[in-house]
């Protein structure tokens, strides 16, 4: 009889512990709608502002390293960079600059012959000649690529857009 009472007592204590633990977990509610881990207002007001400030600081630091003033469109790319030319704009490339016309239309600016080396066709184009889509052009000296109606170029090397 003693063993039976001890068993019942141990089962009652175990059930009380289990019920207490379950009640404590339910009362906490962490992560529920009433007590979220991260609030939407924190994300939109605080976190996003902090991230944008960090991004702006890194961009300003990178521009300072490149020697660029804000708003000036110029660069030296070791990898190809997409450059959009508005109608009437021109890209002024340094010697060794590579240009690939992706869309729109552009032409070689007035330059001494040869204007640009067409590496895709293995030929040269003179000043005023139109660039062909997806052809890689090399500048043997400082040259210009002009766009009358807008164009998107992939550019590698030193350039300025004006």
Verify that 97 and 137 share a domain, yes or no: yes
User: Of 91, 54, 77, which is closest to residue 157 (Cα–Cα)?
Assistant: 77
Backbone angles phi, psi at 95, to 5 degrees: -60, 135
CATH number at residue 120: 2.60.120.1030
Using only C-alpha atoms, the chain has a radius of gyration, in whole angstroms, of: 33
Task: State whether 88 and 154 are in the same domain.
Answer: yes
Q: What is the pLDDT of residues 30-60, one digit of tens each?
A: 556 666 677 778 778 888 888 888 888 888 8
In this structure, are 113 and 151 located in the same domain? yes
Provide the 10 A C-beta neighbour count for residue 8: 10
Same domain, 142 and 89: yes
Yes or no: say if 85 and 147 are a contact pair by the CB < 8 Å rule.
Answer: yes
Question: Does 81 lie in the same domain as 156?
Answer: yes
Which stretch of 2-11, 25-34, 81-90, 104-113 has the lowest confidence by average pLDDT?
25-34
Cis (ω within 30 of 0) for the bond into 13?
no
pTM for this predicted structure = 0.53
In which domain, by residue range, is 92 found?
73-161
Number of domains in the chain: 2
């Amino acid at each position: 009889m003693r063993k039976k009472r001890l068993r019942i007592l141990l089962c009652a204590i175990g059930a009380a512990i289990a019920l207490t633990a379950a009640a404590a977990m339910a009362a906490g509610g962490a992560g529920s709608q009433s007590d979220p881990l991260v609030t939407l207002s924190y994300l939109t007001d605080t976190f996003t502002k902090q991230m944008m400030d960090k991004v702006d600081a890194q961009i300003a630091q990178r521009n300072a390293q490149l020697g660029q003033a804000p708003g000036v469109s110029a660069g030296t790319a070791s990898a190809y960079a997409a450059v959009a030319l508005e109608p009437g704009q021109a890209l002024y490339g340094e010697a060794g600059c590579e240009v690939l016309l992706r869309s729109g239309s552009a032409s070689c600016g007035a330059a001494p012959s040869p204007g640009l080396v067409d590496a895709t066709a293995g030929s040269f184009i003179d000043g005023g000649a139109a660039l062909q889509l997806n052809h890689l052009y090399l500048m043997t000296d400082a040259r210009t690529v002009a766009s009358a109606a807008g164009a998107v170029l992939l550019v590698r090397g030193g350039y300025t857009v004006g």
